Structure 1
Amino acid sequence: MKDRTARLLSELVSAEFPISMKALSEQFQLSARTMRNEINEVNDYLQQQKLPLVHSLRGKGMKLELNRKEKEQVYVLLDADKKNEVLRREERILDLILATALSKNKIFLFHKEEEYQVSKSTVDEDMRRIRDLLKGYGIRVLSVPKEGLILEGKEKSIRTMIYSIVNKAIGSISLTEQYKNQSIKQKIIFDYIPINMISEVDRIYDSCISASEDNYYRKNLVNFTSICISRFLNKKKIETRTWLKRNIYISEPIENFVETVFNHFGFTDALNEFSYLSFILETLNQQDMNTSIDWVQAQLLSIQLIQHVEKQTHIPFSRKEEALQEGLYQHIAGLLNRIRYDVQFANPLKENIQKNYDVIYRAVQSFAPIINQLTGKKISQDELSFLVIHFSTSLSELNQEVTYYYRAVVICNHGMATGKLLSENLKELFNIEVLAVLSSREIGLIGKLDVDLIFSTLPLRELKKPLLVLEPIIKEDSKKLIRDFLQQNKEYRRINSNYQDMTHVFHSLLQVVDKQIGKVSKEAYEELADVFKEKQFSVNKRELQPMIQDILEDEHIILQAEANDWQDLIQIVSQPLIKDETITQQYVQAMIQSVNDFGPYIVIGKHLALAHARPEDGANKLGLSVATVKDPVRFGNTENDPVKIIFCLSAVDSFSHLNIMKYLVQLINDEEKTKQLDEVTTIEDFKKILLNG
């Protein structure tokens, strides 16, 4: 039985519910016709074994109904078939890499030739490809007499390589499937990373982190831990002590998880290993403000990314900013470290995401250089696809509130009446707004109209906008042409909102109440918000958060400060917030220590720095101070030094300072304003330029 047929049979046996032909075709990347042929081959095989056949349930899909004994029989047959199957090149390469990296036995190529039943030249070609592949990880594979194959490279690079190779081979290992129901690649992996080990690590995850969640964070965390255990048991250890200083940022659940794993597997005298694994697992977990030193950078990036994607796609994602920004922020906080330390997630849905959300994917992809520059590494397509998921979720919510339309012009030489008929049909059938009906002599007017598409009854040349030539009367076959044309040009869709954003009305009402009665209590605020919600009026609570002018007091502005170095500058800009007890001295020391530990990450733009620490380090309330510098100070950021303006931010939650962050994003992109702010000599002029531009 062919491997593809065997995989299809395995899928049908394990499925609890019918699977549609469309879903099967997408999963196996086959046409519907080829998929039907594969099902026929499965049925031929089942018939030979005197087992029930795959049948179609009307409106539901394909179903193979077997009792427990019959399922056992199929699993035995599939397992026997796999043992006799000759491995393909990609499977041999996976086996060779894992055998070299994880096997307790010495690996010799002539033994592998016999095992694979292939020639020496075939295995030589496999090894050539492996050497090219591992070169990208800074690893060499050597064939040593009497020792066999060995890996030469840093231990952390070897573990990262194994993790990457495993994820690329099968996406994410499904821990819930039975061993005998695994694919060939999964079976190879489980030969070197035992399934019982993975199950034990997964059980520890239940007890230390969560027994209910089942997501890609969990799978990746368990996978990486299992790989580290396998290497450690083979006496391959992390020797460097550079991870020790980073354990101060490890969350309690991760620390408990690693400690329990080490106790369970009997690891002792492994402080370096403990620190390394804890830090890497923290990057695989969703981050919040209290665990990630990158929280400010993650928030800046999430704001910039939303603005960028909205501009590129013309989809109003800012209307779903509250949930979208929070989700992106938590994801990006972990993502930054994953990229830096080469432990990026594999995304099993990557191809489907790129296909079904291609416009959003291209927009996110065009933002990638900013992330690459920040991390010094290249973000993978898999990780980009995870970012797209956040946007596609918001898009689904938006689609319930908005309709789309196209703005077009009609060119017709059959007379104004015929052109108007075509125009009205387009409006009625396809939600197209036609701005004008023109003759071919009036083509020059198109450039003056705000239109995206052109419909014409005659061929035209050298037009800069998408064109579809139609008959004046829209017939059934023309409808398909138009639908396909609109689909091909869906990036030109415009938004027609079906809901009312009442944020500004809500804000104005609060101001009236505050003025006439007094400060609005939290309870009254929430009750009023519920009334708006009941009436189906949208209120974006984040837009009601303080603006920069609401919290930046005159006494928080320092002009032409004289600082000896960057540590001194952080002390200077912190003093106004220390004085009014917005922050503690511990917060200042945490800001300085973070730069010492992690480098000049607080330099966020050209000549612009944002000093900050984690809320738990001594932030008492929301606050902001700023200082310009008489003699610019270098932090060690080659791209943006020297710093001429430094802000100090104290934040106590994930969103109350969001409007401040938005403003800083604008300032990052406005070097001229930064230059003007640096040159002013009075607080009044500084505020005028800062707040009004």
Structure 2
Amino acid sequence: MKDRTARLLRKLVSAELPVSMKTLSEAFQLSARTMRNEINELNAYLSQQGFPQVYSLRGKGLKLQLNKKEKETVLATLASDKKNEFLNREERILDLILDIGLAKKKIFLFRKEEEYQVSKSTVDEDMRRLRELLKGYGVNVLSVPKEGLILEGKEKSIRTMLYSIINKAIGTVSLTDQYKNQSLKQKIIFRYIPITMISEIDCIYDSCISASEDNYYRKNLVTFTSICIVRFLNQKKIENTIWLKNNVYTSKSIEIFVETVFYHFSIQDALNEFNYLTFILETLNQQDMSTSIDWVQAQLLSIQLIQHVENQTHIPFSKKEEVLQEGLYQHIAGLLNRVRYDVQFANPLKENIQKNYDVIYRAVNSFAPVINQLTGKEISQDELAFLVIHFSTSLSELNQEVTYYYRAVVICNHGTATGKLLSENLKELFNIEVLAVLSSREIGLIEKLDADLVFSTVPIEEMNKPLLVLEPIIKEDSKALIHNFLQQNKEYRRISSNYQDMTHIFHSLLQVIDSQVGNVTRDAYEELAEIFKENQFSVNKRELQPMIQDILEDEHIILQTEAKDWQELIKIVADPLVQDATITQQYVQAMIDSVNEFGPYIVIGKHLALAHARPEDGANQLGLSVATVKEPVRFGHDENDPVKIIFCLSAVDSFSHLNIMKYLVQLINDEEKTEQLDEATTVEDFKKILFND
């Protein structure tokens, strides 16, 4: 039996419900005609073995009806089939790339012909397609006499290429998953990156970063680190890191992780490697990005993206703006560096996302030129699909009913955004209250939650509660499967209360706390919000954020000032905030240093600049100042110079200033108002124009 026929048989044997021809064609990447031929071959095999054949149910799909004994016999036959696995073209190209890029031995094509048991013309065509694939990464393959095949290109480009190829090959599966049931592509990867090495790096991740999370971040970090270690041990090294910006922030946990990995694999005197790897791993980090120099730019982009997608789709995403903006901001802050340095995430769910959320995908895709212009590079379709996930989750939240009938837990190893998307789809389509989205490493927490059902994207053994394994993206087949699962577990049906909007009470409590103990800390704010959430009281945090007119004081408005250069202009606009201790002199110097280091990124619109630094550089409290310039000042921006108006923002967290940012986005798009503000000669006139009084 062919390997493909065996895989088709496994799928039909394990399917509880009929499977449509469309689903099978997508799963095997075959045309409907070829798929029907495969079904005919399978039926011929089943007939020879005396088993029932695959039959079609009108309007439902294909079904293989076996009794328990027949099913056990078929599975045993599949397990005992020891025939050699022949690689298809896609698998051969993967093997060739990894062999050339990661193996120590010399690689010659005639030996690969013998290994694959194919003709020279077939391997020649494989190599033609391989070279075409690598061209997009700035990498080429050369055939050198006596040396064999070698990769030509910058070392960082080669590592990025290997990372992207491997990520796409393994899809949604973690490299550390499925030890017993490895796919053929996984087996190919493990020939060149030993699974023991991957497991050791994964254990170091446990001790240095997190032992509980199991998501795309972990998968990408472990994968990229493994590639770098193999390349370095094969004497393929990063020669220098001059291309890195100075003073690049890296979190302590990342530094400790890399130090531990280097120690474990006996890597010494490799400062360039250390700087390179810590920087790249930080770009993969989607945690709190307020330490990134791009934190303000990421927030501006996320606000602009929400407005753009809402205008394109006419879906009121602004109603879910608080959570949506936070998720997009964290993703975009890391994305900007990934795009700049060609280390973009591979998204194995891209095609499903494009098909199932086509309207949103097209809207997000039409915003891509804005990101491309900012980074100077082209954002990938994979990264765009990740952005779509955030919008799709909010769409599910907007559509869902507020009354829940089942309580469940979702197990998902594909990242927080994907897990939440599955969670919100379950709520929307089936009235399921999802109490938590966990990774497979957190299964022990399920017993502590008042949940009756478990939905998982990965197989789970020894589950005490009813369990359904399904794909992260809910398709038509999945809907029928879920409906059947819920019908079988009707006894767990519940009714819970509707959420109530308690924003006004929440705000009143904050005022009481503020009057008694001073400024409300972020921890206290979040703890109080969590209490409200646990008691099913909704709070619109967006309504609690101060508006620009609440923050911008008269003495912080400077009109028609003069400055000899941009450095002096930053000092002038920052001075009122220094005088009232909103910021320190260190913050002012940090703003100047950032522009010197990263260029005129603070020029955010036509004739408009927003001076800022990282919160930890000396921001004591939320504050804003503004200055107009008698003689416009050049910062060196190709399109938006010269600057006529400059704001100075002091932000102490990632959320309290968001209404101010929204207003500045509006100002970026309103050149007429910018001109009016520039011409204002009194503070009162300036305020009337700015606040639309």
- TM bracket, shorter-chain basis: 0.7 to 0.9
Question: Structure 1 residues 535 and 367 mapped into 2: Cα distance closer, same or farther (>3 Å)?
Answer: same
User: Which structure has the greater CA radius of gyration?
Assistant: 1
1:303 is matched with 303
Query: What are the ranges of 5 or more consecutive residues in structure 1 without an aligned counterpart?
Result: 404-498
Distance apart, 1:587 and its partner CA = 1.3
Give the letter for the 2:298 counterpart. Answer: A
CA distance in structure 2 between the partners assigned to 1:163 and 1:533 by the alignment = 40
2:204 is matched with 204
Distance apart, 1:608 and its partner CA = 1.1
Written as runs of structure 1 = structure 2, the 5 A alignment for 1:265-276 is 265-276=265-276
1:540 is matched with 540
CA distance in structure 2 between the partners assigned to 1:12 and 1:189 by the alignment = 27
Aligned-pair identity in percent equals: 77
Question: Structure 1 residues 596 and 48 mapped into 2: Cα distance closer, same or farther (>3 Å)?
Answer: farther
Distance apart, 1:175 and its partner CA = 2.7
Tell me the TM-score normalized by structure 2.
Answer: 0.75
Pair 1:81 & 2:93 matched: no
Give deviations 1:11-55, integer Å, cap 9, x for gaps. 679x7x957625666534579998798678668768989999999
Q: Is the 8 A contact 2:19 2:61 kept in 1?
A: no
Give the letter for the 1:545 counterpart. Answer: Q
1:112 is matched with 112
CA distance in structure 2 between the partners assigned to 1:606 and 1:585 by the alignment = 28
Distance apart, 1:536 and its partner CA = 7.8
1:161 is matched with 161
- Where 1:280 maps in the other structure, the secondary structure is helix
Q: Is the 8 A contact 1:557 1:627 kept in 2?
A: yes
Pair 1:652 & 2:652 matched: yes
1:221 is matched with 221
Question: Structure 1 residues 625 and 131 mapped into 2: Cα distance closer, same or farther (>3 Å)?
Answer: same
Query: What are the ranges of 5 or more consecutive residues in structure 2 without an aligned counterpart?
Result: 404-497
Distance apart, 1:116 and its partner CA = 2.5
Give deviations 1:585-623, integer Å, cap 9, x for gaps. 121222222222222221111111111111111111100
- Where 2:691 maps in the other structure, the secondary structure is helix
Question: Structure 1 residues 151 and 681 mapped into 2: Cα distance closer, same or farther (>3 Å)?
Answer: same
Q: Is the 8 A contact 1:21 1:62 kept in 2?
A: no
Give deviations 1:260-304, integer Å, cap 9, x for gaps. 111111111111111111111111111424332211111111111
Give deviations 1:209-268, integer Å, cap 9, x for gaps. 122222111111111111111111111111123266556411122112111111111111
2:284 is matched with 284
Give the letter for the 1:201 counterpart. Answer: I
CA distance in structure 1 between the partners assigned to 2:200 and 2:25 by the alignment = 35
Written as runs of structure 1 = structure 2, the 5 A alignment for 1:474-513 is none
CA distance in structure 1 between the partners assigned to 2:529 and 2:144 by the alignment = 72
CA distance in structure 1 between the partners assigned to 2:230 and 2:532 by the alignment = 57
Give the letter for the 2:81 counterpart. Answer: L
Distance apart, 1:546 and its partner CA = 0.7
CA distance in structure 2 between the partners assigned to 1:363 and 1:107 by the alignment = 45
CA distance in structure 1 between the partners assigned to 2:25 and 2:333 by the alignment = 36
2:100 is matched with 100
Q: Is the 8 A contact 2:54 2:62 kept in 1?
A: no
Question: Structure 1 residues 43 and 77 mapped into 2: Cα distance closer, same or farther (>3 Å)?
Answer: farther
Question: Structure 1 residues 644 and 49 mapped into 2: Cα distance closer, same or farther (>3 Å)?
Answer: farther
- Where 1:291 maps in the other structure, the secondary structure is coil
Pair 1:334 & 2:313 matched: no
Question: Structure 1 residues 61 and 291 mapped into 2: Cα distance closer, same or farther (>3 Å)?
Answer: farther
CA distance in structure 2 between the partners assigned to 1:522 and 1:272 by the alignment = 43
Distance apart, 1:122 and its partner CA = 3.0
Q: Is the 8 A contact 1:288 1:333 kept in 2?
A: no
Deviates more, 1:599-608 or 1:34-43: 34-43
1:599 is matched with 599
1:352 is matched with 352
CA distance in structure 2 between the partners assigned to 1:77 and 1:132 by the alignment = 36
Give deviations 1:437-484, integer Å, cap 9, x for gaps. xxxxxxxxxxxxxxxxxxxxxxxxxxxxxxxxxxxxxxxxxxxxxxxx
CA distance in structure 2 between the partners assigned to 1:325 and 1:659 by the alignment = 12
- Where 1:649 maps in the other structure, the secondary structure is strand
Deviates more, 1:238-247 or 1:59-68: 59-68
Q: Is the 8 A contact 1:247 1:275 kept in 2?
A: no
2:442 is matched with none
Deviates more, 1:359-368 or 1:662-671: 359-368
Written as runs of structure 1 = structure 2, the 5 A alignment for 1:244-643 is 248-400=248-400, 539-643=539-643
Deviates more, 1:355-364 or 1:519-528: 519-528
Question: Structure 1 residues 183 and 530 mapped into 2: Cα distance closer, same or farther (>3 Å)?
Answer: closer
CA distance in structure 2 between the partners assigned to 1:572 and 1:501 by the alignment = 47
Question: Structure 1 residues 25 and 109 mapped into 2: Cα distance closer, same or farther (>3 Å)?
Answer: closer
2:667 is matched with 667
Q: Is the 8 A contact 1:313 1:359 kept in 2?
A: yes
Distance apart, 1:109 and its partner CA = 1.9
1:132 is matched with 132
- Where 1:630 maps in the other structure, the secondary structure is strand
Distance apart, 1:368 and its partner CA = 1.1
1:490 is matched with none
Give the letter for the 1:565 counterpart. Answer: D
CA distance in structure 2 between the partners assigned to 1:346 and 1:228 by the alignment = 17
Question: Structure 1 residues 73 and 266 mapped into 2: Cα distance closer, same or farther (>3 Å)?
Answer: farther
Give deviations 1:80-138, integer Å, cap 9, x for gaps. 431xx1x3332222222222211101112222222223333333333233333322222
Tell me the TM-score normalized by structure 1.
Answer: 0.75
Question: Structure 1 residues 610 and 54 mapped into 2: Cα distance closer, same or farther (>3 Å)?
Answer: same
Question: Structure 1 residues 293 and 529 mapped into 2: Cα distance closer, same or farther (>3 Å)?
Answer: closer
Distance apart, 1:181 and its partner CA = 2.8
Pair 1:6 & 2:10 matched: no
Give the letter for the 2:382 counterpart. Answer: D
CA distance in structure 2 between the partners assigned to 1:342 and 1:352 by the alignment = 24
CA distance in structure 1 between the partners assigned to 2:674 and 2:380 by the alignment = 33
2:459 is matched with none
Question: Structure 1 residues 688 and 234 mapped into 2: Cα distance closer, same or farther (>3 Å)?
Answer: same
Deviates more, 1:66-75 or 1:184-193: 66-75
CA distance in structure 2 between the partners assigned to 1:246 and 1:9 by the alignment = 56
CA distance in structure 1 between the partners assigned to 2:525 and 2:215 by the alignment = 36
2:149 is matched with 149
Deviates more, 1:340-349 or 1:29-38: 29-38
1:21 is matched with 19
Q: Is the 8 A contact 1:247 1:279 kept in 2?
A: no
CA-atom RMSD in angstroms = 4.0
Q: Is the 8 A contact 2:606 2:640 kept in 1?
A: yes
Question: Structure 1 residues 104 and 173 mapped into 2: Cα distance closer, same or farther (>3 Å)?
Answer: farther
- Where 1:549 maps in the other structure, the secondary structure is helix
Deviates more, 1:325-334 or 1:197-206: 197-206
Question: Structure 1 residues 533 and 143 mapped into 2: Cα distance closer, same or farther (>3 Å)?
Answer: closer
CA distance in structure 2 between the partners assigned to 1:381 and 1:181 by the alignment = 30
- Where 1:631 maps in the other structure, the secondary structure is strand
CA distance in structure 2 between the partners assigned to 1:207 and 1:525 by the alignment = 30
Give the letter for the 1:103 counterpart. Answer: A
Q: Is the 8 A contact 1:506 1:539 kept in 2?
A: no
Q: Is the 8 A contact 2:339 2:378 kept in 1?
A: yes
Give the letter for the 1:119 counterpart. Answer: S
1:458 is matched with none
CA distance in structure 2 between the partners assigned to 1:234 and 1:318 by the alignment = 51
CA distance in structure 1 between the partners assigned to 2:277 and 2:335 by the alignment = 16
CA distance in structure 2 between the partners assigned to 1:69 and 1:267 by the alignment = 51
Q: Is the 8 A contact 2:402 2:499 kept in 1?
A: no
Distance apart, 1:650 and its partner CA = 0.8
Q: Is the 8 A contact 1:25 1:31 kept in 2?
A: yes
Q: Is the 8 A contact 2:54 2:63 kept in 1?
A: no
Distance apart, 1:177 and its partner CA = 3.7
